[in-house]
Structure 1
Amino acid sequence: MARPADARKDQDLINILMSNARTSISDLAKALGVSRATAQGRLARLEKDGTIAGYTAILGKQAHVTSISAIILIELEVRQQGNVIAALRKKSEVVDCYTLSGPFDLFVKINCATSAHLDEIIDWIAEMDGVRRTTSSILLARKFER
């Protein structure tokens, strides 16, 4: 088990990278108050143990890439969660998947290039074995992100 101070440093490192995934090792070390080698080792450990699974680019308002996103709430048949999640994981359009408490079992975020493609993916999900019902909402505008 990590010492509390180490756990805090790990969380601080993660917070910095979530704010800017391109932060250099030198800047990470400076912000954490550790050596460059220590910051690199901490980062490598977090990547190796799967805490940090990857890095991404977040597009700004002026980006010329067009896409449409939707949130799909899914109610599952009993004991079908594993199969449904495995199928969803194979689709690159599915960018997030969370389990839920309440009337729906899964929360899924989808990104597609066109509304027609989005419609195809929503239909594919609704027709999957183990899916009892879905409800969809198209995302209109991001007001903020942390």
Structure 2
Amino acid sequence: MRMDATDKRIIELLIDNGRLSYVDIGKELNLSRVAVRERIHNLQEDGIIERFTVVVNSEKVGKGVSAFFEVDCEPSSLVSVAEALADISSVASCYQMTGPSTLHMHVLVDDFTDLEKFINEELYALDGITRVESHILLRRFKSRTGLKL
């Protein structure tokens, strides 16, 4: 599907406020509710909009430590390590990166005791990991939850 300026504007509005109604979007763009519904449906069908979700402030629900990890793996173990990490509830995201079979991971835990437990009991317990580098988030200056068009 090829997006036009109206589709892009709909996406921008939804990124800013995913709870906007079809009517509210229509008023903003001078479209009918039905036209907006159809466009959003098409954007979903074409895979441009993958899903609607809520963003939770991790600190306000007790996840006081946010850490980022670079995890190097044996090439033959990369997929199995990534799948095992993805199954751990404290792992917020896990991506394969360029480099020597590297995974980039974001972890959210309650406190430093839980972080130590995650590292020692879950991360280091996985076979195939060759190097781990960690970074603790001190302060967030920008966090974006959607692609700006």
Asked whether the two chains share a fold, i.e. TM above 0.5, the reply is: yes
The alignment partner of 1:86 has SS state of helix
Whether 1:78 and 2:66 are equivalent positions in the alignment is no
Q: TM-score, normalised by structure 1?
A: 0.76
Paired with 1:75 and 1:81, the residues of 2 have a C-alpha distance of 8
Question: CA offset at residue 136 of structure 1?
Answer: 0.7
Aligned to 1:118: 115
Specify the alignment match of 1:127 in structure 2.
Answer: 125
Give structure 2 stretches of 5+ with no counterpart.
145-149
Equivalence for 1:3: 2
Cα distance, 1:56–1:128 mapped onto 2, change above 3 Å: same
The answer to whether the Cα contact below 8 Å between 1:100 and 1:106 also exists between their aligned partners in 2 is yes
- CA distance change for structure 1 residues 101 and 59 in 2, over 3 Å: closer, same or farther? same
Distance in 2 (CA, whole Å) between partners of 1:119 and 1:79 is: 27
Q: Say if 1:17 and 1:4 are closer, same or farther in 2 by CA, change over 3 A.
A: closer
> Paired residues, what number?
141
Q: Tell me the equivalent position of 1:65.
A: 61
Task: Please give the alpha-carbon distance, in whole angstroms, between the structure 2 residues aligned to 1:11 and 1:88.
Answer: 34
Q: CA RMSD in A?
A: 2.7
TM superposition score normalised by structure 2: 0.75
CA positional deviation for 1:17: 2.4
